[in-house]
């Protein structure tokens, strides 16, 4: 078992911001809240999925809504704790551990302070290994967990019990509730046995994010200087594959809200330099442009007409000069960025997982080709 204390939170959030693939909002508010609460209640205990008893009862907890809302409507611990307590009250089941929806973004910290306050462990793993916009894209329902019963609670302490037939219906329901209840709610959902967690959760992502964040934050300079360490870290993890896709400047970023999603395209232009040494070919030629197609997250990366990475593989963008991860909402003209493609774990490579997370699931008319099968140069 590992311990996550207030002192680990900045690293966790830096790693989570990288794995958020452009989504997840500004992690500062959730970082600050987690630091304050872990300081007050003590460190949280992390338990690896393989160490869970098969009959343990695990519930996923996190926030649902518009991340921008939390910049103004600051969250407290009360919504998440309230939702979890209500969940136990309604189902009559004692919760043995909590697990994050997604490691990417602010939702990685909520189960940690909930675990610390409740005195139960938090599972070292999550249901996405990244950030994705919708509930049916989580590995929990893909591999058999039922999203409901779910208990949601808003900032005013109002709670509701949701009962839905399937994950897609649940997603529509909870999204509408989030908008109606002020833009941001906490949700306790996807009650699972320890055995199901072992089958469905992407393991060790929380401790991985801490390590990743330590590398990125500890450096803080030009990303090229730590690229070898970054590659080694991912190569030795469950993700396995990592590629440098492009380095360049943002020359356009147009966004629009469609159906509640932040949809748009960002265009990057190469500097025409050699970057980290060696031949980078199309990756930073001044003549080439990269297009990032965005729907909350970076979902498709193209060089010219060629797709070089697509969801569910991860497309991660950092500011080249500082190694800080760049949220899609903050992308703007003139920023110098480096783009990395990271292979999703095997959980997303099955037909049932791809059915809900491949590019077509987001309305892009193209087939998913695994990152490692695409040649860039």
Partner 1 sequence: MRIGIDVGGTHTDAVLMDGMDIVSSHKALTSSDVRQGIMEALDAVMLDAHVTATAIDAVMIGTTHFTNAVIERKELCPTAIIRACLPTGSGLPPKCDWPEDIAAALGDHRHMIGGGHLFNGKEIAPLDERALDLAIDDIVQKGIKSIAVAAAFSPANADHELAIAKYLSQRIPDANITVSHEIGRLGILERENAALLNAALGKLAHRVVSNMQAALGERKIHCSFYVSQNDGTLMSADYIARYPALTFSSGPTNSLRGAAILSGIADAIVVDIGGTTVDVGVLAKGFPRESNSHIDVGGVRTNFRMPDILPIGLGGGSLVTENGNRLGPQSVGHRLVKEGLVFGGSTLTATDIAVANGSADVGDVSRVADLDPALIERATVTMHQMIDDAVDKMRPSEEPVPVILVGGGAILVSRELSTASEVIHPEHAGVANAIGAAIAQVGGEVEHIVSYAKINRDDALAAATEEARHKAMAAGADPDTLRVLDMEETTMSYMDDDAARIRIKVVGDLKQTP
Binding partner 1 by CB under 8 A: which of 94, 156, 278, 351?
A: 156
Binding partner 1 by CB under 8 A: which of 17, 56, 155, 266?
A: 155
The Cα 126–Cα 242 span in angstroms is: 20
DSSP annotation string for 282-316: GGS-TT-EEEEEEESEEEEEEETTEEEEETTSEEE
The Cα 126–Cα 49 span in angstroms is: 10
**Is 278 near partner 1 (CB under 8 A)?**
no
- Name the one range near partner 1 by CB under 8 A: 88-96, 143-151, 209-217, 252-260: 252-260
Q: Per-residue contact track with partner 1, 69 to 98, x per CB under 8 A?
A: x-xxxxxxxx--------------------
The number of beta carbons lying within 10 Å of the beta carbon of residue 169 is 16
In the region spanning residues 35 to 54, those forming contacts with partner 1, defined by CB under 8 A, are: 36-37
Binding partner 1 by CB under 8 A: which of 2, 5, 10, 32?
A: 32
**Is 262 near partner 1 (CB under 8 A)?**
yes
Binding partner 1 by CB under 8 A: which of 42, 183, 240, 370?
A: 183
DSSP state at residue 36: H
**Is 274 near partner 1 (CB under 8 A)?**
yes
Helix (H, G, I), strand (E, B) or coil at 331: coil
**Is 285 near partner 1 (CB under 8 A)?**
no
The Cα 10–Cα 211 span in angstroms is: 11
Q: How far is the CB of 140 from partner 1 (least distance, A)?
A: 20
List the one residue out of 280, 276, 299, 293 whose CA is nearest residue 230.
276
Q: How far is the CB of 257 from partner 1 (least distance, A)?
A: 5
**CB burial readout 117-143, b (16+ within 10 A) else e:** bbebbbbbbbbbbbbbbbbbbbbbbbb
Strands 242-258 and 336-342: antiparallel
- Of residues 76 and 350, the one with the C-beta less far from partner 1: 76
- Of residues 25 and 121, the one with the C-beta less far from partner 1: 25
Q: How far is the CB of 158 from partner 1 (least distance, A)?
A: 11
Q: How many helices (H) and strands (E) does the chain have?
A: 10, 17
**Is 255 near partner 1 (CB under 8 A)?**
yes
**Is 283 near partner 1 (CB under 8 A)?**
no
**Is 189 near partner 1 (CB under 8 A)?**
no
Residue 171's alpha-carbon distances to 80, 148, 156, 165, in angstroms, are 18, 11, 22, 11
Binding partner 1 by CB under 8 A: which of 6, 17, 26, 62?
A: 26
Binding partner 1 by CB under 8 A: which of 1, 92, 157, 351?
A: 157
Binding partner 1 by CB under 8 A: which of 7, 144, 218, 260?
A: 260
Element (H, E) at 263: strand 261-270
Binding partner 1 by CB under 8 A: which of 3, 7, 28, 281?
A: 28
Contacts for 258 with CB less than 8 Å, ≥ 6 apart: none
Residue 208's alpha-carbon distances to 33, 187, 351, in angstroms, are 21, 24, 26
Binding partner 1 by CB under 8 A: which of 326, 344, 353, 371?
A: 326
Binding partner 1 by CB under 8 A: which of 296, 310, 345, 357?
A: 296
The Cα 185–Cα 172 span in angstroms is: 14
Place of tokens 């491949």: 358
- Name the one range near partner 1 by CB under 8 A: 51-59, 191-199, 332-340, 369-377: 332-340
- Of residues 205 and 269, the one with the C-beta less far from partner 1: 269
Question: Would you call 51 exposed, middle or buried from its count of C-beta atoms within 10 A (0-12, 13-18, 19+)?
Answer: middle
The number of beta carbons lying within 10 Å of the beta carbon of residue 220 is 12
The Cα 282–Cα 200 span in angstroms is: 38
Contact residues for partner 1 (CB under 8 A)? 26, 28-29, 32-33, 36-37, 65-69, 71-78, 155-157, 175, 178-179, 182-183, 221-222, 224, 249, 255-262, 271-275, 296, 319, 321-322, 324, 326, 329-330, 332, 334-336
């Amino acid at each position: 078992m590992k311990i996550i204390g207030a002192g680990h939170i900045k690293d966790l959030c830096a790693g989570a911001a990288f794995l958020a693939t452009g989504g997840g909002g500004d992690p500062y508010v959730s970082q600050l809240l987690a630091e304050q609460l872990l300081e007050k209640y003590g460190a949280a205990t992390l338990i690896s999925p393989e160490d869970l008893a098969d009959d343990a009862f695990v519930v996923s907890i996190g926030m649902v809504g518009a991340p921008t809302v939390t910049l103004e409507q600051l969250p407290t611990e009360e919504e998440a704790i309230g939702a979890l307590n209500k969940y136990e009250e309604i189902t009559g089941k004692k919760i043995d551990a909590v697990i994050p929806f997604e490691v990417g973004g602010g939702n990685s910290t909520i189960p940690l302070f909930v675990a610390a306050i409740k005195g139960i462990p938090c599972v070292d793993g999550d249901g996405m290994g990244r950030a994705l916009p919708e509930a049916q894209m989580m590995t929990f329902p893909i591999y058999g967990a039922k999203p409901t019963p779910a208990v949601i609670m808003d900032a005013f302490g109002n709670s509701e019990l949701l009962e839905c037939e399937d994950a897609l219906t649940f997603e529509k329901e909870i999204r509408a509730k989030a908008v109606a209840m002020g833009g941001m709610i906490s949700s306790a959902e996807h009650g699972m046995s320890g055995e199901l967690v072992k089958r469905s959760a992407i393991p060790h992502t929380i401790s991985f994010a801490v390590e990743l964040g330590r590398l990125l934050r500890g450096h803080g300079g030009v990303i090229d200087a730590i690229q070898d360490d970054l590659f080694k870290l991912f190569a030795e993890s469950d993700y396995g594959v990592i590629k440098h896709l492009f380095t360049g400047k943002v020359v356009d970023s147009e966004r629009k809200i469609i159906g509640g999603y932040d949809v748009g395209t960002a265009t990057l232009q190469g500097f025409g330099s050699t970057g980290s040494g060696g031949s980078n070919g199309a990756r930073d030629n001044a003549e080439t442009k990269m297009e990032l197609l965005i729907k909350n997250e970076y979902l498709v990366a193209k060089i010219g007409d060629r797709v070089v990475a697509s969801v569910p593989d991860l497309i991660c963008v950092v500011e080249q000069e500082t190694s800080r991860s760049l949220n899609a909402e903050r992308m703007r003209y003139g920023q110098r960025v480096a783009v990395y493609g990271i292979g999703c774990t095997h959980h997303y490579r099955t037909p049932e997982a791809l059915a809900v997370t491949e590019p077509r699931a987001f309305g892009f008319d193209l087939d998913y080709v695994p990152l490692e099968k695409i040649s860039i140069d």
